[in-house]
Chain A
């Protein structure tokens, strides 16, 4: 499966954005988006990047795919340096940035794919066949000759996936590949991603879906504020939670103040809360669930509690601890 050939090598990578340039806006602001990260991805590996909004995932992908230059540090892909040999890098990689944009919406899906096939230099004899195959693969064949502006968000995302594979790349970068997809389409996309890697491709993706990362990735880098705070297999990350349990509390009217109190209880590692309009769900990470059950529910006295359960920690708990807590 995973061989030792290094396909992507990221070394001491830093990216600073300077904004506010221009004639009228003289004030400059610097954003440190990627703060000295290093990692390697092996041939045939499926490598994931997890991290909260603004962590620097997209910025890292754009540097790996030659769209942005590193402020310092280096990235090489298939042995080519992204800063010195961008055209060589581009020949070997596929890129899915995804989202509502990034497609020519006034022309059809087929015309989009053909155009990119031409720009990637797909041999003419193979072009139309490959376009057809990809349209089938992402289930857009029936709508292939409709303008992209008439597509739903999920259909656009599937077209993005097809576009990313148009040059049959050896290394594929996907930024949130399943965003906007319905559960069925997301499952199909995950299946496709698995098939690509089984077929020998190397793939790097970002996602906000923990189960997706858990199910797909060989290794995961957890990124927070531009830094890699953990890099391990999903199992390895979950083992950070070994000896921990989760007390899950579902209830109504739980306020921020109470969450803070619970977080500060001795014996509590961290608390994550999903605060719905109505219902709230707290996940309290503790070492000893039996001992902590009472103190936690005590804080919530007077609130309407509809369920308290003790659970095994998941990848999500490990992730939350890494980015919120203080790894």
Chain B
């Protein structure tokens, strides 16, 4: 229960910061939104699937961008701000604090995705008739959690490194492409596919496609199959993250890297 409390409080805390300072909307919401719009305009005349790719892509980009910035920047911000030590001095493990923040940030991405959906339907007459809206929503939420878990995994690196920016920028685009949120990953070389399949959100997007596109074939895992694979991968992320956070916290206490010095 204390863990849930720390997650909930940190979720709220991140939301308060979001309200107080929405400037980071630019990289995380507006940019993916604009890219989506461009793709939509390009494929305006085409039928169903491409528009759907664009919409899903924009939503996923927003979600991923948010998660990555959340994990990276919230730790970096806390370090500069002197609050990393203050939260570490509490009995709540850092991992649960970051988890709460990551979930909020991925949620902002979801709103972003929904917003894009509305625009696509209203202004571009995109054919987005949902095959199964309930399963779609379920897959969307599960993907959100999976993204947060992946963000959590990466964020352990940020506790140690002071070069958070390099890591954030370096990971952003590979993930957009790797998870297949912008293109069907079948178009990419085989070795990138191997990488993609190890990412939970890849399977989340598969599930979303099963739910959204009638008769979708994909990798023949089916909706629930993809969901199950995503769940297993994501839980593995959390397990690894718990371990990494423990190691990283210990290292930081040795190196004094909780403060910028």
Contacts and interface: CB of A to CB of B under 8 A. Distances in A.
Contact of A87 (B83, B86, B91): B91
A102 B86 contact: yes
B253 A104 contact: no
A119 interface: yes
B52 interface: no
Nearest to A104: B83
B87 interface: yes
A57 interface: no
A150 B112 CA distance: 32
Interface stretch (A61-69, A192-200, A258-266): A61-69
Interface string A62-94: 100111110000000000000000010011010
B122 interface: no
Given A68-B253, A107-B17, A119-B6, A102 B82 contact: yes
B253 A115 contact: no
B158 to A, nearest CB: 15
A101 interface: yes
Contact of B90 (A21, A69, A119): A119
A118 B1 CA distance: 12
Contacts of B253: 66-69
A104 B81 CA distance: 8
B9 A120 contact: no
Interface in B1-21: 2, 5-6, 8-10, 12-13, 16-17, 20-21
Contacts of B93: 87
B258 A115 contact: no
A304 B87 CA distance: 55
B87 to A, nearest CB: 6
B20 to A, nearest CB: 4
A103 interface: yes
B26 interface: no
Given A119-B92, A119-B97, A69 B250 contact: yes
A181 B250 CA distance: 35
Interface string A230-270: 00000000000000000000000000000000000000000
A97 interface: yes
B239 interface: no
A121 B5 contact: yes
A101 B5 CA distance: 25
Interface string B153-191: 000000000000000000000000000000000000000
Contact of A97 (B9, B86, B91): B86
Nearest to A93: B89
Contacts of A114: 9
A111 B16 contact: yes
A66 B253 CA distance: 8
Nearest to B251: A69
A115 B9 contact: yes
A89 to B, nearest CB: 9
A118 B89 contact: no
Q: Which of B10, B87, B97, B256: most chain A Cβ within 10 A?
A: B256
Interface in A101-149: 101-107, 111, 114-116, 118-121, 147
Given A68-B253, A99-B82, A107-B17, A121 B89 contact: no
B85 A97 contact: yes
Contacts of A119: 6, 9, 87, 90-92, 97
A27 to B, nearest CB: 16
A67 B258 contact: yes
Contacts of A68: 253, 256
A152 interface: no
B137 interface: no
Contacts of A147: 20
B85 A103 contact: no
B220 interface: no
Interface in A154-193: 163
B92 A121 contact: yes
Contact of B88 (A67, A69, A91, A121): A67
B83 A103 contact: yes
From A69, A91, A119, A120, residue with most partner B Cβ within 10 Å: A119
B21 to A, nearest CB: 5
Contacts of A99: 82
B92 A102 contact: no
B20 A118 contact: no
A18 B251 CA distance: 13
Given A67-B253, A99-B82, A118 B9 contact: yes
Interface in B219-261: 250, 253-256, 258, 261
14 contacts: A18-B255, A67-B89, A67-B258, A68-B253, A87-B91, A97-B82, A97-B85, A101-B83, A102-B82, A107-B13, A107-B20, A114-B9, A116-B86, A120-B92
Interface of A: 17-19, 21, 62, 65-69, 87, 90-91, 93, 95, 97, 99, 101-107, 111, 114-116, 118-121, 147, 163
List of 3 A-B pairs having minimum Cβ-Cβ separation, nearest first:
A101-B82, A118-B9, A119-B90
Given A21-B255, A106-B21, A114-B9, 7 more contacts: A66-B88, A67-B89, A69-B250, A106-B17, A116-B90, A121-B91, A147-B20
Interface of B: 2, 5-6, 8-10, 12-13, 16-17, 20-21, 81-83, 85-93, 97, 250, 253-256, 258, 261
